[in-house]
Amino acid sequence: MNAFEVITDSTEALRASFRLHASGVSVITMIDEAGNPAGFTATSMTSLGANPPLASFNVASGSSSWPILCKAKYVAIHTLGDRNLELAGRMAADHTLRFTKSDWVRGPHDLPIFEDATSVMICEIREIHNVENNAVVIVNVLEGLVGEVGPALLYYQRHYMSPGKSLN
């Protein structure tokens, strides 16, 4: 244990660890009850098994998308490539400007689909577990759309990146 610096403040401990951890970047979209598009950038999206196909992501219950997500039945999970840098930034900034460009169309279940994403999973919301000021959302993957292949987009140390060279 000599090699480590101990951080006793639990929030600081989490922050210090996640500064050292990289994440893939996705964009999750849905529609509200009136059919208007909503969505956000997520770095928490991950697989929860392939058979049956399940995915999960985390969302803050203070976010602009949260009340819409709570009433939504379906979401579109977009995996992003390094060519989607602007989209990743836009979907994490002012929520009134997220769908003002003409880079999306309506897909299955009227979901907003960003056409330049590397892929999209059309998903049905299965469970939402509230945990303090956040929630874990679990979805069934129904079908997929695969776009133009390209290097994945990462988020690491407050910057977007693409993967480097393979180590193995």
Q: Which of residues 59-88 bind its own copies (CB under 8 A)?
A: 60, 77, 79, 81-82, 85
The number of residues that bind its own copies (CB under 8 A) is: 89
- Residue 103 belongs to what H/E stretch? none
Which residue lies nearer to its own copies by CB, 72 or 154? Answer: 154
Write the Ramachandran bin of 39: left for phi over 0, alpha for psi from -120 to 50, otherwise beta.
Answer: left
The maximal CA–CA distance of the chain, rounded, in angstroms, is 58
Q: Pairing state of beta strands 154-156 and 23-24?
A: antiparallel
CB contact at 8 A, 65 and 38: yes
Which residue lies nearer to its own copies by CB, 33 or 35? Answer: 35
Write out the binding residues for its own copies, residues 91-130 only, by CB under 8 A.
105, 107, 113, 115-116, 118-122, 126-127, 129
Does position 164 interact with its own copies (CB under 8 A)? The reply is: yes
Q: Which stretch binds its own copies (CB under 8 A): 19-27, 29-37, 65-73, 91-99?
A: 19-27
